[in-house]
Structure 1
Amino acid sequence: MGSLLSSSKSSDYANLVIDFDNVKPSSKEVEIYNQVQKILDQCPKVLGLINDYKDCTQLCSKAMSEPSQSSEEKAFSALLKSVKSVKVFYDFSNDLKKCVPVLLNELSKPAEETKQTLQDQQALVKQFANILDFVLMFDQIRMMRPHLSNDFSYYRRYLPKFARRPDIEVKADEASAMALFTARHCPMMVSLSSATAECLEQNRHVTNAMSAMANACLAMLKNKRFKSVDTNKYVARAMVGAVVLFDHVYPSGVFYKSPVDIKGIIKFLKKAEFDAVSLLATIRYSSKNFKHQTTPSSITDLFD
């Protein structure tokens, strides 16, 4: 099985079509496909929990300004429910970190015919797209839940006082490990990039998978390969996810002399027939190197 090896731009994928809606794994892909799918099956639950997350700001503020056994117990009881959701997010991110290297290593073996490789491994390419799609959606919702990290800080503060409660699932040691995760504004992308960076140390072709994914998605979107608006949005999210992930792990980032057609991607999103404002914001604010001095003004000016 080949790889997504490529340092070319989107024009090289002009005739490529990946059937994201109907592709099924081949016998060579099915083992890894199913392994990844077990993790992806949890995505609806995780997205539902972050979407429904209710902050505990008022109860915690009252417990701080009017401290009493009653006010603190009410705040802590509410925090227990919130922290239970955070634990689901944290555990999922760790599961994701375990499965991503397996998928990327399979997609990142050297090959001479990149386009044919993309065509031959469509099911695994789709799983990669599914991961990128989820990561973007989760982190976009997380950014709209700014009180989540404050809630967790309150939880850690009150935990010693209520440590004997039998309904506590997250003990002090685990809470310490989770603290950094809750503080990040794009925690899933950081987890994904961490796993990818470790994978890159063992396989130098890993960034080729991301650049090829971004460029191929752009080519298919520009050439109107998909009739459904939902599919176009899905492919655009996968494209942007690949851009941000590439920027997090590639030494010089995605904006400076990278194999990703970043200008083409930004220009496409600005004129897209669907609302792509949030995707442009993701490139700008979730990437690592957008504000770096090496980023050309010709790219930053596209956002003005």
Structure 2
Amino acid sequence: MGGFASKSSQAESPDLNIDLENAKPSPEETDTYTYVLNLLRPTVRILATLREYQGCNEYIRQAISNPCPETEEAAWEAVCPAVERLREFYEYAAALEDAVPRLLADMIKVDGSSDSEDPAIVYRVLERRPALVRLFADVLDFVFEFDELKMGNPAIQNDFSYYRRTLNRLKMSSQMAMRTPVVNDELANLMSLFYAHHTPMLKTVIDVASKFVSSRPDGFRGADVLAGLAGVCYHAIVKERLTHPDAIAFCLRVQVACAVLYDHIHPAGVFVRTSPINIRNTVRVCNEYAPQQSSLVNALRYNTRHLNDESTPKALRQLLA
């Protein structure tokens, strides 16, 4: 598959000199690189655990349809380990709340002082910090995969809802003294809000990135980081800099995640004609290289913020209708 030219009226995605596969940290990247690299180590295990999550549907069904001490005890014994796993996922999302701003801060840090809003400044910085760019890509890839698995497993919310209902019932009876809750009420409330979202990890990153942008005078450059990374992924695919299917799939997920996140943190969104992330090209490469992965285009369709704005060209709204 070769590269193709854009027929879109949107701007072309930036083509940066960054090799995602062979990026090595420079001395100035080392501290943040080591911190985030260590944070990412559990992600393979977390995704494997989520992929294997079977849920407690049968135990819960028995406890509800045939309530008695035996069925209720069996359901409680089954659901508590499940909630422990869900707590681990939630706590990992909380850890990302520290990592994302740290990554963004280092990737927008320019030499000297500059108030210029020229994206090229950030792009040049990114080319000098390829290892951090790769780690940020790894974070977004994990976020995308986690949420895709979560959306496909309704047992997660069913299990947690049953746990909370049972916990409330036990507290109103004399049985609570005989139980050790896996999570307390305060944490359970926070976890409930987290899992209520279809894409909880992405929501976490969107919230923390939005806070970063609004809290710093140079925070707007965070959008340039996303545009730069999306461009790296797009050109790596269409210019065949990557050929292994796993590497292409990785770049597709990261490119889409960048587009969604950009649409939330940039005031104008990702669909305007001046956007440096070309949505028509993004959709085209998803359909060309991963026609069976509907979750990619669906993320643009359902997780973006500005798709239905009047400023979004009608052709783009129709493209994602």
| C-alpha contact 2:14 2:227 (8 A) present in aligned 1 | no
- Give RMSD over aligned pairs: 2.2
Query: Partner residue of 2:286?
Result: 269
CA distance in 2 between counterparts of 1:80 and 1:250 reads 41
- 1:179 maps onto 2:192 in alignment: yes
- Corresponding residue SS for 2:289: coil
| Partner amino acid, structure 2, of 1:298 | A
1:185 is matched by which residue type in structure 2?
Answer: H
Correspondence list, 1:1-304, <5 A: 9-10=11-12, 12-13=14-15, 16-110=16-110, 112-160=120-168, 161=170, 163-165=176-178, 167-201=180-214, 202=216, 203-257=219-273, 258-272=275-289, 275-303=292-320
Decide whether aligned partners of structure 1 residues 293 and 112 sit closer, same or farther in structure 2, where only a CA change above 3 A counts: closer
Moved more, 185-194 or 281-290: 281-290
Q: Kindly tell me: are residues 280 and 26 of structure 1, through their superposed partners in 2, closer, same or farther at Cα, counting changes over 3 Å?
A: same
Question: CA 1:11–1:284 in 2, change beyond 3 Å: closer, same or farther?
Answer: closer
3-state SS in 2 of match to 1:28: helix
Q: CA deviation at 1:116?
A: 3.3
**Aligned equivalents of 2:184, 2:315: Cα separation in 1:** 50
How many residues of Structure 1 are paired with residues of Structure 2 in the alignment? 295
- Helix, strand or coil: the match of 1:55? coil
Shift of 1:293: 4.9
Q: Which runs of 5+ in 2 are unaligned?
A: 1-9, 111-118
TM-score (norm. length: structure 1): 0.89
Would you say the 8 A contact 1:9–1:215 is kept in 2? no
Residue range with higher mean Cα deviation, 272-281 or 118-127:
272-281
Normalising by the residue count of structure 2, what TM-score does the alignment of the two structures yield?
Answer: 0.85
* Fraction of identical pairs, as percent: 29
1:76-133 C-alpha deviation (Å, 9 max, x unpaired): 1111011011001100000011111010011123575444333211100000100010
Q: Structure 2: how far apart are the matches of 1:57 and 1:293? A: 44
Question: 1:25: how far off?
Answer: 0.7
Question: Does the aligned pair in 1 maintain the 2:122–2:224 contact within 8 Å?
Answer: no
1:289 to 1:165, Cα distance in 2 relative to 1, 3 A:
farther
Shift of 1:292: 4.4
Gaps of 5+ in 1: 1-7
Q: Which amino acid aligns with 2:167?
A: L
